[in-house]
């Protein structure tokens, strides 16, 4: 029971990122929204880590690894996510985020030459089938587009590759230092593309934009991540179970806040994704003492 409140709060906050991003891109170009978030959140975390907590700076090797990680995890993934969310529903954005363990399973098997098991393949099939079931009716009424889904898919592949890359090394840096630098570096790498391609003329830095930025930085990037680290430290297997609630919260936010449709397709597709997530993480549950 001691995990109940932190777990529910983590799932509720983490799933809110799609809806918050959807509101933000109504006011400003997606690239601008992403860059402003990164260039505020990164320095804030580093100010706490290096200024208040007096943590050491990364060395040259660690900076190199952080740059590669930032490129895949922040610049490409989150850049693609905000671009895609302009063209797909917030519910689909939340559902896609929850499927990242399936992509990680596949990429780790390829990258690390690890044999892939039948239930991992089944998990990927169930997960992708679920996303398709949810998405299909939304394509008919302009709540999703094929280009948007392809951009979202590219982002999911990138963040999964980033996770596998991160796991290859033994990191001695504190998590706040890692997150702060990778967010700041990722924002700096994205900045030239924002300056070249973002539509500044049609962007409005109104209250909706800044509330979106605030929500993505404080409740999502700070509070939700700290809750996640707490849950993982207590029990990594139980922590992974809370990811299963994220699509449910995500579709709830999309329906209530953004008037996005819920249907039998939403229910069936979400169940298929949850089955896929369970199969994809079956080893974790089997290894639990």
- What pLDDT tens digit does each residue of the chain (289 aa) get? 566 788 889 889 988 999 999 999 999 999 999 999 999 999 999 999 999 999 999 999 999 999 999 999 999 999 999 999 988 888 888 887 777 777 777 777 777 677 777 777 888 788 888 888 888 777 766 677 889 889 998 998 898 888 888 888 888 898 889 989 999 999 999 999 999 999 999 899 999 999 999 999 999 988 887 788 778 777 666 666 777 788 888 888 988 998 888 888 888 988 888 888 777 766 665 655 4
Residue 71 pLDDT: 96
pTM: 0.84
So what's the pLDDT on residue 57? Answer: 93
State the SS3 of 48-104.
HHHHHCCCCCCCHHHHHHHHHHHHHHHHHHHHHHHHHHCCCCHHHHHHHHHCHHHHH
The answer for residues whose C-beta is within 8 angstroms of residue 134's C-beta and 6 or more apart is 91, 92, 95, 265, 266, 269, 270, 273
| Cα torsion angle, 163, 104, 128, 226, sign | negative
- Cα-based distances in Å from 277 to 79, 121, 211, 270: 25, 11, 32, 10
Task: State the total domains in the chain.
Answer: 1
Q: What is the pLDDT of residues 222-238, one digit of tens each?
A: 888 778 877 877 766 66
> What does the pLDDT look like over 66-90, one tens digit per residue?
999 999 999 999 999 999 998 888 8
Q: Which residues contact 9 (CB under 8 A, 6 or more apart)?
A: 223, 224, 227
CA distance 43 to 180: 7
Find the domain containing 128 and state its range: 4-287
Tokens coding 76 = 């490409």
């Amino acid at each position: 029971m001691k995990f109940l409140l932190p777990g529910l709060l983590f799932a509720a906050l983490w799933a809110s990122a799609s809806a918050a991003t959807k509101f933000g891109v109504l006011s400003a170009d997606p690239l601008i929204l992403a860059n402003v978030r990164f260039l505020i959140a990164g320095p804030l975390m580093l100010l706490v880590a290096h200024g208040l907590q007096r943590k050491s700076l990364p060395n040259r090797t660690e900076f190199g690894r952080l740059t590669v990680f930032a490129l895949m995890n922040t610049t490409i993934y989150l850049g693609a996510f905000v671009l895609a969310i302009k063209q797909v529903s917030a519910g689909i954005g939340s559902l896609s985020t929850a499927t990242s363990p399936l992509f990680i399973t596949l990429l780790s098997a390829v990258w690390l030459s690890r044999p892939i098991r039948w239930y991992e393949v089944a998990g990927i099939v169930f997960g992708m089938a679920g996303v398709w079931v949810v998405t299909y009716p939304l394509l008919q009424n302009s709540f999703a587009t094929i280009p948007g889904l392809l951009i979202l898919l590219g982002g999911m592949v990138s963040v999964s590759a980033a996770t596998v890359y991160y796991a290859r090394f033994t990191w001695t840096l504190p998590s706040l230092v890692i997150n702060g630098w990778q967010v700041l570096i990722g924002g700096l790498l994205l900045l030239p593309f924002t300056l070249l391609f973002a539509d500044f003329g049609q962007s409005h830095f109104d209250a909706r934009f800044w509330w979106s930025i605030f929500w993505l930085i404080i409740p999502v990037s700070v509070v939700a991540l700290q809750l996640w680290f707490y849950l993982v430290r207590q029990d990594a297997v139980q922590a992974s179970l809370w990811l299963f609630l994220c699509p449910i919260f995500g579709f709830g936010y999309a329906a209530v806040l953004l008037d996005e449709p819920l249907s039998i397709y939403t229910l069936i597709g979400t169940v298929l994704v949850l089955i896929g997530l369970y199969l994809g993480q079956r080893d974790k549950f089997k290894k639990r003492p």
